[in-house]
Amino acid sequence: MRMAHPISKNKSAIQGFTLIEVMIAVVILALSLIGVNMLSRETTSQLSYLQQKTNAYFVAENVLTNLLLGEQGYYLQAGEQHGTERLATQEWFWRANITQLSAAPTILHINIAVSTSLNSPSISSVEYYAARH
């Protein structure tokens, strides 16, 4: 004697997903994918900003090194100097403000600010104190 499967007796017990359940699942999936896309876009934007800020910092460090070593065109004297440097296929504008400390005349305060254009706000800056020789 053959036994029938218990589910096959009741055809109404075998049901798939209704259209509304499928639509709700698709909406939830779409919203989560939109969130992932927005997060990915924001991460890419932040990565680009950090890369630019890092490059600007490297330019400031290079200018500081050139000032301290007295490379041609760089002078470690009180006053303001400015110029351009090329790094990572981009032209960077730097401005060095060198002041003599009144409390210690042999010490110079060096502030180097770097930006992407001549009049734009600085992206990165470096401060340093150096003794005059």
DSSP 122: P
Concatenate the DSSP letters of all residues of 73-101 into one string. Answer: T---SSEEEEEEEEETTEEEEEEEEEEE-
pLDDT for res 14: 60
- Residues 43, 34: Cα–Cα separation, whole Å: 14
**How many Cβ atoms are within 10 Å of 54's Cβ, its own excluded?**
13
Give me 57's structure tokens.
């910092």
pLDDT band for 83, please (50, 70, 90 cuts): very high
Distances (CA, A) of 110 to 11, 31, 71, 75, 121: 85, 51, 16, 12, 18
Across the chain, what does the average pLDDT equal? Answer: 87
pLDDT(11) > 70: no
Domains in the chain, CATH or no CATH each: 17-131 (3.30.1300.30)
DSSP 118: T
Q: Which residues contact 25 (CB under 8 A, 6 or more apart)?
A: 17
pLDDT for res 91: 95
pLDDT(1) > 60: no
Interval 76-102 mean pLDDT: 92
Question: Which is more confidently placed, 5 or 27?
Answer: 27
- Per-residue pLDDT tens over the stretch 21-80: 999 999 999 999 999 999 888 888 899 899 999 999 999 999 999 999 988 888 888 899
Model pTM score: 0.71
Say if CB 85 and CB 56 are below 8 A apart: no
- Residues 25, 33: Cα–Cα separation, whole Å: 12
pLDDT for res 105: 85
